Amino acid sequence: MEVHRRLGCGFLEAVYREALAIEFLERDIGFETEHTWPIVYRDITLPLRYRVDFFCFGAVIVEVKAIAELGRLERSQTVNYVRMARAERGLLLNFGGASLQYRRIVSRWRCSALKSPDL
């Protein structure tokens, strides 16, 4: 919220990522920027990797957007990142509107993994 309060809307996504990194450092939030994971399809690791904006505390995916409004596509992307990384949570932040938009994603894989080891 501090980043949006200070910068407002209208900047590119990269500006908000850099400002958010400063806030994370100021608040002692452990993070990695642009952390990558392999993509596995049918037990084959694809040559592509997917990259998240921030991976915080080794458990939380943070995706940054600067668009007019969050939609299903952005939410689905973040859900997939959380699932593929087997992260505990995801946070989708959108700095593109008049006020900060956010969506919190809670991992379901941990609960379902307890029921079926194949997931």
**Better-predicted residue by pLDDT, 115 or 55:** 55
Share of the chain above pLDDT 90, in %: 73
pLDDT of residue 109: 59
pTM: 0.84
What string of DSSP letters covers 29-97?
--EEES-EEEEEETTEEEEEEEE-SEEETTTEEEEEE-SSS--HHHHHHHHHHHHHHT-SEEEEEE-SS
- DSSP 8-state symbol, 28: T
Q: How many domains does the chain have?
A: 1
CATH of the domain at 99: 3.90.320.10
Which residues span the domain enclosing 90?
2-115
pLDDT digits (tens, 9 = 90+) for 31-58: 999 889 888 889 999 999 889 999 999 9
**Strand, helix or coil for residue 20:** helix
